[in-house]
Amino acid sequence: YLNPPPSQTLCSQYCPALYYGSNGHCLPCSNNCLNCVTPSGLCLDCLPTFYFHPKTQQCGVSCPADSFGNPSTFVCESKCNAGEYADPSRLCNKCSSKCLECEVEGTGSECTRCATGRFLLRSDCVELCGVSFYGDALTNTCVGKLDF
């Protein structure tokens, strides 16, 4: 392939990052693509800090409305993974280590299911349920004791 500027006179077997090969020439990938394929120039992965949307094979500063951004991988996903919650800007964030599942409420996350050895009390996962409650090991929740 004829390399892109400034070394247009040099030929190589492969095009460099940010370019793809077509008809013997290295052509630029679409916006924010790090690597792309011929002949369409569809993205394989994105420049750092840009999110890859697998359905469209495009890169952007955020994910489309039908997906959630994973800040660890910079890939747009159809839903957040287990142990994560979607914040108001549609980014997936890790739940507290006490939580098995959580959801966003206000400025932080609230547990909806607890990790083994913890019990859900309101929106927190505790090791001991406290006075007037006992831990139900089947549901991992704190249950109120009945007074007789």
User: What residue type is 132 in one-letter code?
Assistant: S
Tens-place pLDDT, residues 60-113:
999 999 999 999 999 999 999 888 888 888 999 888 888 899 887 655 678 999
Tens-place pLDDT, residues 76-88:
999 998 888 888 8
Residue with tokens 């599942």: 101
What is the band of 2 on the pLDDT scale with cuts at 50, 70, 90? low
Q: Does 39 have pLDDT greater than 60?
A: no
For residues 107-134, average pLDDT = 88
Q: Does 47 have pLDDT greater than 70?
A: yes
Percent of the chain with pLDDT over 90: 36
Cα pseudo-dihedral 6, 8, 14, 16, rounded to 10:
10
- Residue-by-residue DSSP string for 22-47: ETTEEEEPSTTEEEEETTTTEEEEES
Instruction: Give residue 41's pLDDT.
Output: 66
Instruction: Give residue 19's pLDDT.
Output: 85
**What residues form DSSP beta bridges with 92?**
86
